Homo-oligomer: A and B are copies of this chain.
Amino acid sequence: MTDGNELRNLGEFGLIDRIAQRLPAGAGVALGIGDDAAAFAPAPGQLNLITTDMLVEGIHFDLSYSDPLSLGKKALSVNLSDIAAMGGKPRHYLLSLAIPPAITLDFLDNLISGMLSRAEQFGVHLIGGDTCSSSGPLVLNLTVLGEQSPDMLVRRSGARPGDQICVTGTVGDSALGLRLLRQGGRKGDAIARHLDPLPRVREGLALAEAAIPSSMIDLSDGLLADLGHILDLSAVGARIYSEELPLSDTFRKHFPLVTEEALSLALAGGEDYELLFTAPPEKIPQIFPLLEKMGTPVSVIGTITEENTRAVIGSDGKEISLDRKGYDHFSGRDKS
């Protein structure tokens, strides 16, 4: 066991050295950690992709139930998920850390272990960052770089009327997991999904390289909110069929009947980090074999419509009212 004192003795440069010594060799970068800036180049003809996310203790995670290993993995995963949603190949990342006095060196070592193991899994390399102390919560800021050729890049703005709306994996598990954690739960599939989501990097890349999606986004804010971004930027509408929503066995065990509460978790829960994408009907048959090869389920859950209206259709064929909080963004500007 170590305490905050040991970390203070180490200092900023000591901490950076400690992290640098753990990095694998051959980061595929012109200049890595240790200078004023890092230097790197995309492969010829590729665009650079970049995304950044800030995670704040007490807002995005709670140290009473987030272990440092999972937190390190998740911090990288949520950014990798953004590169995946562009159909990109992740390559490098930067880490900024603001560290409050109560954080121990053990905690930080485990956080870095989680990050490095997730980085190895997806072939990305730490090339820079910043560490400082915090007068309040623990704050992490991750910046992830990737690349893709300009013609393969999948944007949010390409959805067209008649396109089918697809989603990988299952939805609602992370929100269910968060609820169980807050109720004192510490184990189980839903909790694991919340604490350590796996980004769909391989799936996003395979879909992009097969030129299947007309638009794509990752599920971070909730299915309807994230679909709302695609609809806004593509200037189209959507019909979602609640019966087609992919729900895990764990989710169904908690909700044998798809109650309004269950629907709310699945449609507005957030943090599933699945890929939501649209594709023209003629490309739908290609999707299943492509993703099943990776062991990843995929579901068609709705259709893009020409008129800018947004509806979720229930099992009775009737539209479900979406005037509850969390659906606001989906319901569109005309209704707000």
Contacts and interface: CB of A to CB of B under 8 A. Distances in A.
A37 B54 contact: no
A145 B155 CA distance: 22
Interface string A30-61: 11001111111110001111111110111110
A31 B82 CA distance: 14
A222 interface: no
A49 B38 contact: yes
A83 interface: yes
Given A42-B48, A48-B40, A54-B132, A59 B218 contact: no
Interface residues of chain A: helix, strand, loop or mixed (majority): strand
A229 B300 CA distance: 56
Contacts of A144: 37
A141 B88 CA distance: 24
Contact of A146 (B31, B37, B94, B157): B37
A60 B141 contact: no
B51 A36 contact: yes
A96 B141 CA distance: 8
Contact of A130 (B34, B53, B98, B153): B53
Given A94-B143, A139-B139, A52 B86 contact: no
B48 A132 contact: no
Contact of A96 (B53, B155, B329): B53
Given A35-B155, A39-B47, A233-B34, A54 B97 contact: yes
Contacts of A139: 54, 56, 98, 134, 139
A133 interface: yes
A135 interface: yes
B50 A128 contact: yes
Given A36-B217, A139-B139, A155-B31, A134 B56 contact: yes
Contacts of A153: 30-31, 39
26 contacts: A31-B153, A35-B86, A35-B155, A36-B82, A36-B156, A36-B216, A37-B49, A37-B88, A39-B150, A39-B153, A40-B47, A41-B42, A50-B143, A52-B141, A52-B143, A53-B130, A56-B134, A56-B139, A58-B135, A59-B135, A60-B132, A98-B139, A130-B141, A135-B137, A136-B137, A143-B143
Interface of A: 13, 30-31, 34-42, 46-54, 56-60, 82-83, 85-86, 88, 94, 96-98, 127-130, 132-137, 139, 141, 143-146, 148, 150, 153, 155-157, 216-218, 233, 329
Given A41-B46, A50-B94, A134-B137, 15 more contacts: A30-B47, A31-B155, A35-B157, A36-B83, A37-B85, A39-B148, A48-B48, A52-B94, A52-B96, A54-B139, A59-B133, A98-B139, A135-B136, A139-B139, A143-B143
